[in-house]
Amino acid sequence: MLIKTIFSGFGGQGVIMMGYLLATAGMVEGKNVTCLPSYGAEVRGGTANCTVVVSSEEIASPVASEPEYAVLMNNPSLIRFQNQVQSGGTIFLNSSLIEDRPIRGDLEIYEIPLNDLTKQLPENRGANVIMVGAFIKKSGLVSPETMIRVLKNTFGGKNPAVFKLNKSALMLGYEYLK
């Protein structure tokens, strides 16, 4: 098994955090992982993306030529990555912000209206973690239990309330997709 995922969106949408969470959860489950964030003169509002490879074998390249999954948070990301996803691959898109849809017919597409979903959470936050919940439900790359553990390690130390919020965001996304 060697699964490549690209996360992409505006800087500030938590794209790098999504990649970090998936890579860390993969590591906790004893898989090989690499997480390659784009970096540059990116600021809030610019574009950011992150490539995560989760594998049962040694990972040769951290750069993905044809990812199996793309998790897209805004319209420019869809334009940039829709043609890179391999045939039969899957796109998760934030339907609150993305109006276009891929023309390709060989992809599975899941639409998650993140902005509407965040309204169900206190403080109207956590869109990226809702997306992570939806992503792990359909990809099955890591279990939700592992992801909750990772959320606890990542956010629990500083402020337990932040962990609680992220945990409910994760479960909201996980249960949104049937």
Q: Which of 36, 107, 148, 177 binds another protein (CB under 8 A)?
A: 36
Q: Which of 23, 127, 131, 151 binds another protein (CB under 8 A)?
A: 23
Region binding another protein by CB under 8 A among candidate stretches 59-67, 74-82, 138-146, 155-163: 59-67
C-alpha 122, offset from chain centre: 21
Choice between 64 and 136, CB closer to another protein:
64
With binding defined as CB under 8 A, does residue 39 bind another protein? yes
169 vs 70: CA distance, rounded Å:
20
With binding defined as CB under 8 A, does residue 158 bind another protein? no
156 vs 158: CA distance, rounded Å:
6
With binding defined as CB under 8 A, does residue 81 bind another protein? no
Choice between 4 and 167, CB closer to another protein:
4
Residue 130 Cβ vs another protein, minimum distance, rounded to whole Å? 22
Q: Which of 33, 73, 129, 151 binds another protein (CB under 8 A)?
A: 33
Closest Cα to residue 111, out of 122, 125, 100, 126?
A: 100
With binding defined as CB under 8 A, does residue 40 bind another protein? yes
Q: Which of 32, 95, 96, 139 binds another protein (CB under 8 A)?
A: 32
Residue 115 Cβ vs another protein, minimum distance, rounded to whole Å? 29
DSSP assignment of the chain: -EEEEEEEEETTS-HHHHHHHHHHHHHHTT-EEEEEE--SS--TTSEEEEEEEEESS----SS-SS-SEEEE-SHHHHHHHTTTSPTT-EEEEETTT-------SSSEEEEE-HHHHHTTSGGG--HHHHHHHHHHHHH-SS-HHHHHHHHHHHHTTT-HHHHHHHHHHHHHHHHH--
Q: Which of 56, 60, 100, 160 binds another protein (CB under 8 A)?
A: 60
Total number of residues binding another protein (CB under 8 A)?
A: 19
Query: Which residues would be at the binding site for another protein (CB under 8 A)?
Result: 20, 23, 27, 32-37, 39-41, 60-66
